Amino acid sequence: MTNQAQALNVNITSRFWTRYLNMTVENALPYQWRALNDEVPVDVPEGAAWGENGSQFSHSLRNLRIAAGREEGVFSGQPFQDTDVSKWLEAASYALRRKNAGLNVDELEAHVNEAIELFEGAQDEDGYLDTKFELDLPAEKRFKGLRWSHELYTMGHFIEAAVAHYEVTGSKRALDIAERVANCIGHNFGDGEGQVHGPDGHPEIELALARLYEATGERRWLDLAAWFIRVRGTDPEFFDEQDAAGGPQFYTDLHMPLKYFVQDEPILDKQHAEGHAVRLLYLAAAVSKVGRLLNDQKMLDTAERLWTNIVKHRMYITGAVGSCQVGESFSFDDDLPNDLVYGETCASVAMLFYGKSLMETKPRGSVADVMEKELFNGVLSGVQLDGTRYFYVNPLEADPAASKGNPTKAHILTRRAGWFDCACCPANLGRLITSLDQYLYTVSNDGKTVYAHQFVANKTEFEDGFTIEQTQAGDEYPWSGDITFHVSNPNGLDKKVAVRIPQWSKDYTLEVNGEAVELPVVDGFVTVDASAADTEIHLVLDMSVRRVRASLRVRADIGKLAVARGPIVFCMEQVDNEGPLWLDGMSADANVSESYEPDLLDGVEVLKVKGSRLESPTDDQYRAVDAPLTEREETLTMIPYYAWCNRAEGQMQVWVRETK
């Protein structure tokens, strides 16, 4: 599989996603630009990490202006502060496409150009581009403290932004800077004498170089990406040696094991998803992508193995990954505590990068199912409905009293924050949402089969004149499961359209050109011949409410039920339910009524569950069992998980106590 035959022009028309796209283009990205440019006071709830140096400002555009000689001043922020601008630039570049949908992107475009100009001005003669090092450290320190320096991470994000800008606009201005960056890296890293023979502590350059290869066709970038993958974890002494040689050190308070950096063993030997979740996932996504581009079986196997481990044992029902706040990391199989979870927004975003690449290797419904789960739950939970406040951590159980009163849970914010000291998540949300069009289709190697694997209404033209229009009836997806693919094949090419049957849809009906058909589900897809001039595929998915149990391996979920409907996981919030929520319960066959409420939370399905509330006749802290506990009938209100924390602050839970 390749993405060479990728769709030329995907126009998202989905009501649900158009709202998110337009909100991002019109509200979130302008807000983020102002934050990066120190133009807005940002509101950060107690507990949110902010202001490494006490600053209330991002300083990231200022760093670039200083490095570009446009302003006097000193560097401020994280070593990787530049990436906040790079990721914004990537997101905003994608966003320029929304001009096609009638949005005014003039101001955004001006800021895009301003950012590129600043990177251009900040770039050193040899291509080096990292304002932390340029402003704060002598040149001989470069690439000498890679445990925490984030130099390649920083440059990788610029490369990704440049590729995006080039792909959207056709302009080579940013791409030229990126190629100079890549040249600098290629010059400094490798097996040759005098070259640095080890990786950056934070993977990212691997994915970036692979994308640069795709954009430019320059094979050496692909080889360099593969080199960074192959060198990773082969020399566990590498960072220590750099320290010992007097390399610059950062975050000396943090004592993270090599596993955190995915540097404890060769990545291609790794059996489990371990360490810092975003580091592991960026790397695994690159392993998958480079493996496919090089047809390297060891890489392909590694990508499959780690994905399987995550999906089967290390992912929450919302798609959240990373069970542990310490090191923002994976922990161990089936350790999925709902109230301690990290579930970084960036990690859910990275799962989409990873899933997309696996689909390109071999399209499978199971992978697309996970991508959908992440999209509608783990990712969207990270952003307030208006796009201007963010979660870094996405819990499945939250209690403001616990977050304030028990430092072990202080990372679980119960209000989204206006910005972060380490502001990786806001722009990652931005670049995912504005590039959603790239996640809807996978085309087979021979170009004949188009896998239409996401139920996001759109109209898409492929380069061979083939078009697919996906429309949705009723309240539209994800609220209704009535989906039609109008396929047009004016040139009568030998074409097939493969439509995903989600694992969650117990039943479905499929009609082709108005006739009911029964087709085998292969790897999660039904494949419909589309060689006629027009083909209409009508799929109706089973959107009935599901009560879900976790495996008995998952200690945290024993005796609990979750509720889902279509791709959406539901939760209870205290604003709708009296609380404490842990007293509320429901049985596996509880009656549930559902209704779409267009005015609530920008339009959501709301569930009313006939449940109960636990009551006790006594109030002692501990007492010998005497009078039994009782269950009082109560109606539980549930809303989509992604929409939580958009009203009053309070308790939230996904998993609900199961009653008989």
Contact 321, 330 (CB under 8 A): yes
- Per CB under 8 A, 623 contacts a second copy: yes
What residues from 219 to 248 belong to the interface with a second copy (CB under 8 A)? none
CB of 207 to a second copy, least distance (A): 27
How many whole angstroms separate alpha carbon 95 and alpha carbon 367? 26
CB of 654 to a second copy, least distance (A): 11
What residues from 303 to 332 belong to the interface with a second copy (CB under 8 A)? 311-313, 315, 317, 323-327, 329, 331-332
| Closest among 478, 447, 445 to 569, alpha carbons compared | 478
Positive or negative torsion for Cα 313, 316, 322, 326: negative
CB of 508 to a second copy, least distance (A): 14
* Closer CB to a second copy, 60 or 331, in the complex: 331
- Per CB under 8 A, 624 contacts a second copy: yes
**Which residues contact residue 435 at a Cβ distance below 8 angstroms, ignoring those fewer than 6 apart?**
91, 94, 164
Structure tokens at 577: 């339910």
CB of 614 to a second copy, least distance (A): 6
From 147-155, 204-212, 290-298, 623-631, span contacting a second copy (CB under 8 A) = 623-631
What residues from 480 to 539 belong to the interface with a second copy (CB under 8 A)? 504, 506
From 28-36, 132-140, 446-454, 581-589, span contacting a second copy (CB under 8 A) = 581-589
648-651 contact pairs (CB < 8 A, 24+): 648/574, 648/575, 649/400, 649/414, 649/415, 650/400, 650/414, 650/573, 650/574, 650/575, 650/579, 651/398, 651/399, 651/400, 651/573, 651/574, 651/579, 651/580, 651/581
b/e per residue 600-622 (b: at least 16 CB within 10 A)? bbebbbbbebebbbbeeeeeeee
Task: Pick the binder of a second copy from 125, 191, 193, 619 (CB under 8 A).
Answer: 619
From 107-115, 295-303, 481-489, 615-623, span contacting a second copy (CB under 8 A) = 615-623
The three-point CA angle 116-121-124 to 5° equals 115
* Closer CB to a second copy, 72 or 619, in the complex: 619
Which H or E element spans position 484?
strand 482-488
* Closer CB to a second copy, 24 or 309, in the complex: 309
Contacts with a second copy, 256-285, as mask; x by CB under 8 A = ------------------------------
CB of 234 to a second copy, least distance (A): 25
DSSP label at residue 392: S
* Closer CB to a second copy, 179 or 328, in the complex: 328
C-alpha atoms less than 13 angstroms from C-alpha of 554 in its C-beta half-sphere: 21
Contact 321, 314 (CB under 8 A): yes
CB of 333 to a second copy, least distance (A): 8
Q: Which is the catalytic residue, given 214, 304, 372, 424?
A: 424
| Closest among 87, 7, 10 to 423, alpha carbons compared | 87
- Per CB under 8 A, 559 contacts a second copy: yes
From 96-104, 296-304, 376-384, 613-621, span contacting a second copy (CB under 8 A) = 613-621
397 is catalytic: no
What residues from 384 to 443 belong to the interface with a second copy (CB under 8 A)? 399, 401-402, 404-408, 410
* Closer CB to a second copy, 104 or 406, in the complex: 406
Task: Pick the binder of a second copy from 36, 129, 208, 554 (CB under 8 A).
Answer: 554
Contact 85, 115 (CB under 8 A): yes
* Closer CB to a second copy, 219 or 312, in the complex: 312
* Closer CB to a second copy, 99 or 549, in the complex: 549
Task: Pick the binder of a second copy from 250, 251, 508, 582 (CB under 8 A).
Answer: 582
Task: Pick the binder of a second copy from 175, 281, 583, 607 (CB under 8 A).
Answer: 583
What residues from 180 to 209 belong to the interface with a second copy (CB under 8 A)? none
Task: Pick the binder of a second copy from 170, 191, 516, 622 (CB under 8 A).
Answer: 622
Task: Pick the binder of a second copy from 54, 628, 633, 648 (CB under 8 A).
Answer: 628
- Per CB under 8 A, 114 contacts a second copy: no
**Which residues contact residue 158 at a Cβ distance below 8 angstroms, ignoring those fewer than 6 apart?**
82, 83, 86, 89, 119, 129, 177, 178, 181
Look at phi and psi of residue 213 and say left if phi exceeds 0, alpha if psi is from -120 to 50, else beta.
alpha
Residue 428's CB is within 10 A of a number of other CB atoms, namely 27
346 is catalytic: no
* Closer CB to a second copy, 300 or 550, in the complex: 550
Positive or negative torsion for Cα 581, 584, 587, 590: negative
- Per residue, the 3-state secondary structure of 154-191, as one string, reads HHHHHHHHHHHHHHHHCCCHHHHHHHHHHHHHHHHECC
CB of 355 to a second copy, least distance (A): 17
Locus of tokens 């047009």: 488
Task: Pick the binder of a second copy from 107, 269, 534, 615 (CB under 8 A).
Answer: 615
What residues from 330 to 369 belong to the interface with a second copy (CB under 8 A)? 331-332, 334-335, 337, 340
How many whole angstroms separate alpha carbon 368 and alpha carbon 452? 10
Task: Pick the binder of a second copy from 298, 305, 547, 608 (CB under 8 A).
Answer: 547
* Closer CB to a second copy, 400 or 447, in the complex: 400
From 185-193, 195-203, 281-289, 541-549, span contacting a second copy (CB under 8 A) = 541-549
* Closer CB to a second copy, 204 or 304, in the complex: 304
Q: Which is the catalytic residue, given 328, 360, 374, 573?
A: 328
Contact 226, 213 (CB under 8 A): no
How many whole angstroms separate alpha carbon 164 and alpha carbon 69? 26
Please report the DSSP string for 260-299 in residue order.
Answer: GGT-SS-GGG--S--SBHHHHHHHHHHHHHHHHHHT-HHH
Q: Beta 630-640 vs 604-615: how paired, if at all? A: antiparallel
* Closer CB to a second copy, 193 or 619, in the complex: 619
Peptide bond into 236 cis (omega under 30): no
The three-point CA angle 15-319-50 to 5° equals 90
> What is the size of the binding site for a second copy (CB under 8 A)?
61
**Which residues contact residue 569 at a Cβ distance below 8 angstroms, ignoring those fewer than 6 apart?**
317, 318, 373, 376, 377, 562, 563, 640, 641, 654
What residues from 8 to 47 belong to the interface with a second copy (CB under 8 A)? none
- Active-site residue numbers? 328, 424
Binding site for a second copy (CB under 8 A): 253, 311-313, 315, 317, 323-327, 329, 331-332, 334-335, 337, 340, 399, 401-402, 404-408, 410, 504, 506, 546-555, 558-559, 561-562, 580, 582-583, 588, 614-616, 619-625, 628-629, 657, 660
